[in-house]
Structure 1
Amino acid sequence: MSAVFESVAPATNSEERITFSATGSEYFRIWIVNLLLSIVTLGIYSAWAKVKRNQYFYGSTQLAGSSFEYHGNPVAILKGRIAALVLFGGYQLAFQYSLAAGIVMLVVFLAAMPWMIWKSLQFGLYNSSYRGIRFGFGGSLKDAYFHYLLLPVVSVFALGLMYPFLHHRIKRFQHTESRYGRTPFSFDATVGAFYKAYFGMFLLLVLGGGLITVAAIVLGKMLQPTMGHMSAAIGKGAGLTLVYVYLFCLMYAFMAMIQNLIWNHTQLGPHRFRSTMKGPRLAWLYVSNTLGIILTLGLFIPFAHVRALKYRLESTALIVSGSLDDVVAGSQGDVGAVGDGMADLAGFDLAL
């Protein structure tokens, strides 16, 4: 069964920006109900909470005048989470029984991880749609084991030198195997671009750390005549504070750089994406969110979530080449949610 949606971008090379209309106050009502019901039901309602949250966020995300939709089945998600709990429970019990049994369960879990990620990608994309056309993921299980097990194991023995290569290969796998209806996404960033980004951050880390260390030593020497033995402690404290601030800023600058690198090299058919995320803006967003959560004893969490998601989404646009006509939805079979539930509990960030 197929469907063709009407033209949404008649102009050539027009820019369609993603907009996000969710508000913290609206999401707070959803969040607090989800939280209370999940507590009362000992976590059972969390599957329904996920569906309600995603439906609200997807429906609040617009591109070219139309919203996205989420179709996840809470019963299927609950089944996946029950299976995940059984797996994690067995893992915990095995270590209490014996070290050998724990190691065996750990190996089993690591061996199952690529399958979990693969099923999660299938489930998440299949249950997302835009203008009635569903997304999909066509990567094979063999490719999932190659990218999420073999390459990570090899990179461990390379002492981190392969990590930019691994990051590139995983993103290329995720993006090139994704599709919108029958229209595939593509990814043309080079491995060299990832190494350049990582090397740049490493260089800034070394140079910045060195300068801060020198500044702390100089400060201690300057204070020594007046502060005596306290000067060293003051210099060390100032140095550590500057290091934490610098690392925090550097981390979010790197996050922005990587998001821009990935999405500026991603296309949907002939249409390409453009990301303009700024590191300083992202850092301030998370600093202010953290302060808000602390000062409100957690009640600011839904507002923080909306603020962060709004900035991330609205930093992205689709540069339409010609029009978005003739995107046809391909027929797909149902995808189970066991892997999706397991990936949720394992804390993986699988967002494309």
Structure 2
Amino acid sequence: AVLLVFSALLPMLIIRNWRYNAIMTSYRGVRFNYLGSVKSGYWTFLAIPLLMAAVLVLLMTTVGSFSSLISNATPLIVAALLYIPALIALGGVMKYMIADLYVNNLRFGTAAFNAAISKAAFIKIAFFSLLFFIPFLIWTLWFSGAVLLSVMEYVQTGGHITHRVDYTSPYGGIFKLIAAYVSLIIGGLVAKCYIVVAERNYIFSNTTLSDNVQVHSNMKLGAYLMLLFTNTLITLFSLGLAAPVAQVRYARFMANATQVSGDLSLLNVQAHGDTARSAVA
């Protein structure tokens, strides 16, 4: 019940949080603003994901029923192979909708930001992130495939294993399982960081302010990964006491990766009178 209530409130909280962060940020005495509506937030963050999930479930159910009718697993395999690309493509579309909802409703005073972005670019980034993850997945299956097969057989047969794996030590299987988990976590982290870097660079390179000022981002994947790694070490070895140091390093990194080209003095910017009202969101 709590999860349902939170899910129902989440789009409103996100929109209000964007608005609060924008209005509480200023440059040269002029505050930013965010004019996106809560209605648009519900459409983007709740309605569209539910529709996408329903389409995917309907697709898999239909193909699964067709497969059972003809007693052939081929349609099910084909559906599984199509499911992952479809899921990735839908994820790219969702990222596009979120970026469009945020940037194209953002204001500097009364001057509007404009992001000329496309769905195809976000889908391409999502597929490239999969390519970053695949080598880690292949290595995991090669390194610990026999152990995973034994575990699956153990579960399916209720403890009777015919596929035996010989180890040089009794801890070999445990070590391989731990290594497999670590490999997948690292692969997921690299893929996720690629998405963050690629999407930020793409959005910034296609965003202008009043069509006169161009923003840029030159984030590098390797530098971003190293930042997260060192920040994690700083936080862990300080038992969390140095978390503010990690946050400052992150903020400085993002600022150094951001540039603006154009003459800001030529902008016809007027301050707005909106207030954040409350910080509840």
Q: Same fold (TM over 0.5)?
A: yes
Report the equivalent of 1:251: 192
CA contact (8 A) 1:128 1:135 kept: yes
Q: Indicate yes or no: 2:111 matched with 1:183.
A: yes
Listed one character per residue, the Cα deviations across residues 24-44 of structure 1 (whole Å, up to 9, x for unaligned) are xxxxxxxxxxxxxxxxxxxxx
How many pairs does the alignment contain? 231
Instruction: Give the counterpart letter for 2:220 in structure 1.
Output: K
Whole-Å Cα distance in 1 between the matches of residues 101 and 6 of structure 2?
Answer: 22
**CA deviation vs aligned residue, 1:44-88 (integer Å, no higher than 9, x gap):** xxxxxxxxxxxxxxxxxxxxxxxxxxxxxxxxxxxxxxxxxxxxx
Q: 1:305: Cα distance to partner? A: 0.9
Deviations 1:126-152 (A, max 9, x none): 222111112112223332222222223
Alignment-derived partner of residue 245 in structure 2: 303
Q: CA–CA distance in 1 between the matches of 2:191 and 2:256?
A: 22
> Which residue identity is paired with 2:9?
A
Rounded to whole Å, the distance in 1 between the matches of 2:5 and 2:13 is 12
TM-aligned CA distance change 1:254 to 1:114, over 3 Å: closer
State percent identity of aligned pairs. Answer: 21
Tell me the equivalent position of 1:94: none
Alignment of 1:284-299 (within 5 A): 284-299=226-241
Q: 2:42 aligns with which of 104, 125, 145?
A: 145
Give yes or no for contact 1:114–1:145 (8 Å, CA) kept in 2. yes
Counterpart of 1:146, as a letter, is W
Cα pair 2:30 2:109 within 8 Å, conserved: yes
Gaps of 5+ in 1: 1-102, 219-223, 343-352
Shift of 1:197: 0.6
Q: Comparing 182-191 with 148-157, which one deviates more in the overlay?
A: 148-157
Map of 1:109-148 to 2, 5 A cutoff? 109-148=6-45
Residue 94 of structure 2 is matched in structure 1 by 166
Partner SS state of residue 227, structure 1: coil
Counterpart of 1:139, as a letter, is G
- 1:321-336 counterparts in 2 under 5 A? 322-336=263-277
Q: Given the two structures, how large is their TM-score scaled by the length of structure 1?
A: 0.58
Query: Under a length normalisation based on structure 2, what TM-score does the superposition of the two structures give?
Result: 0.72
Question: How many angstroms apart in 2 are the aligned matches of 1:281 and 1:317?
Answer: 17
**1:259-298 to 2 correspondences below 5 Å:** 259-269=200-210, 270-298=212-240
Contact 2:132–2:190 under 8 Å retained in 1? no
For 2:123, the equivalent position in structure 1 comes to 195
Q: Show structure 2 runs of 5+ residues with no match.
A: 57-86, 147-164
Indicate the residue corresponding to 2:257 in structure 1.
Answer: 315
Counterpart residue identity of residue 287, structure 1: F
Report the Cα offset of residue 216 of structure 1.
4.9
Q: Secondary structure at the match of 2:265?
A: coil
What CA distance in whole angstroms lies between the structure 2 residues aligned with 1:112 and 1:234?
43
Q: More helix by proportion, 1 or 2?
A: 2
Cα 1:294/1:153, change in 2 over 3 Å: same
SS in 1 for 2:266: coil
Please give the root-mean-square deviation of Cα atoms over the aligned residues, in Å.
Answer: 2.7
CA distance in 2: counterparts of 1:117 and 1:147, whole angstroms: 11
Going from structure 1 to structure 2, the CA distance change for 1:112 and 1:227 (only over 3 Å counts) comes to closer
**How far, CA to CA, are the matches of 1:107 and 1:190 in structure 2?**
32
Which of residues 112, 137, 147 is equivalent to 1:209? 137
Partner in structure 2 of residue 341 of structure 1: 280
| Partner Cα distance (1:330, 1:234) in 2 | 61
Distance 1:197 1:228, change over 3 A: same
Secondary structure of 1:312's aligned partner: helix
Structure 2: how far apart are the matches of 1:232 and 1:117? 44
Give the number of the structure with larger relative contact order, counting CA–CA contacts within 8 Å between residues 6 or more apart.
1
